[in-house]
Structure 1
Amino acid sequence: MFEIRVICPLGDADRISQALAAAFDTGPARQYPTRDGKRQRLYVTAEHRDSSTNPTHTESE
């Protein structure tokens, strides 16, 4: 298990959360504004998918 942190423009959080969920097994994204209030911080807990759910994944990656 690992955590991903993304700083993104306002309004992109949902699109980025969906892309991460497509690539990893994720929990819900926690969203917080940046200190300047111009961007959004996302924190997502994730796990690598095993080969049965992601056939293109190989152990050497």
Structure 2
Amino acid sequence: MTFEIRIICDRSEADRINAAMAAAFLTGPARQYPTRDGMRVRLYFTADHHPDPSEAGSGPTA
């Protein structure tokens, strides 16, 4: 299941948050836009859960 995540943060935190999101979820590159006040940034991630390792190899075989 794919879902969207929006995070509003200080610019200085964007790289750290990007790395944390990539570790927690399967994500594409974050889309980054300034907030209306220009003081922070909005990060938008398209994400999915990491595959469950217990389900690896449980599907049909070729």
Could you tell me the TM-score, scaled by structure 2's length?
0.80
Residue 12 (str. 1) matches residue 17 (str. 2): no
> How far is the alpha carbon of 1:11 from its aligned partner?
1.3
> How far is the alpha carbon of 1:46 from its aligned partner?
0.3
* Structure 2 equivalent of residue 26 of structure 1: 27
Give the 4+ runs in structure 1 shifted more than 3 A: none
Distance 2:11 2:18 in 1: 13
Distance 1:49 1:22 in 2: 9
Pairwise CA RMSD = 0.6
Distance 2:11 2:51 in 1: 32
Give the paired residue count: 52
Unaligned segments of structure 1, at least 5 residues: 53-61
- Percent identical: 65
Distance 1:50 1:19 in 2: 17
Distance 1:4 1:29 in 2: 10
